[in-house]
Structure 1
Amino acid sequence: MDTRVVTAHIPIELAEQIDELAARLDRPKGWIIKQALTSLVELEAKRQQLTLEGLADVDTGRIVDHTSIKDWAKSIDKPV
Structure 2
Amino acid sequence: MAAEMRTLTAQVPVELAQEVDALAELIERPKQWIIKKALVQYLAREAEKRRLIQEGLDDVTAGRVVTIEQVEAWANSIGTDNELPAPKP
The TM-score with structure 2 as length reference comes to: 0.82
1:59 matched to 2:35? The reply is: no
- Tell me the amino acid that sits aligned with residue 68 of structure 1: Q
Deviation of the 1:73 alpha carbon: 2.0
Deviation of the 1:79 alpha carbon: 4.3
Task: Provide Cα deviations, 1:38-67, integer angstroms capped at 9, x if missing partner.
Answer: 000000111111111111110110001111
Based on CA coordinates, which of the two structures has the bigger radius of gyration? 2
Report which structure shows greater RCO (CA 8 Å, sep ≥6).
Answer: 2
The structure where helix makes up a greater share of residues is 1
Q: Structure 1 regions of 5+ residues with no counterpart? A: none
Aligned pairs, how many? 79
Over the matched positions of the two proteins, sequence identity in percent amounts to: 43
Two-structure CA RMSD over aligned residues (Å): 1.1
Q: SS in structure 1 opposite 2:9?
A: coil
Q: Structure 2 regions of 5+ residues with no counterpart? A: 82-89
